[in-house]
Copies of this chain bind each other. A is one copy, B any other.
Amino acid sequence: MTDAALSPPAQTELLVCIKCRRGGAAPADARRPGRRLYDRLSDATLPEGVTLRAVDCMQNCDHGCSVALRGGTRWTYLYGNLDEGGPLEPLLDGLERYHATADGLIPWRQRPEHFKRNCIARIPPAVFSDPLQEADQ
Contacts and interface: CB of A to CB of B under 8 A. Distances in A.
Interface in A102-137: 119-124, 128-132, 134
A123 B15 contact: yes
Contacts of A128: 55
B18 A132 contact: yes
Interface residues of A, number: 28
Interface centre among A54, A57, A131 (most CB of B within 10 A): A131
Nearest 8 CB-CB pairings of A with B: A56-B131, A60-B121, A59-B122, A54-B132, A59-B119, A78-B121, A54-B131, A58-B121
Interface of A: 15, 18-19, 53-60, 66, 68, 70, 76, 78, 119-124, 128-132, 134
21 contacts: A15-B123, A15-B124, A18-B132, A55-B124, A56-B131, A56-B134, A57-B122, A58-B121, A58-B122, A58-B124, A59-B119, A59-B120, A59-B121, A66-B121, A68-B121, A76-B123, A78-B121, A78-B123, A120-B121, A121-B121, A123-B123
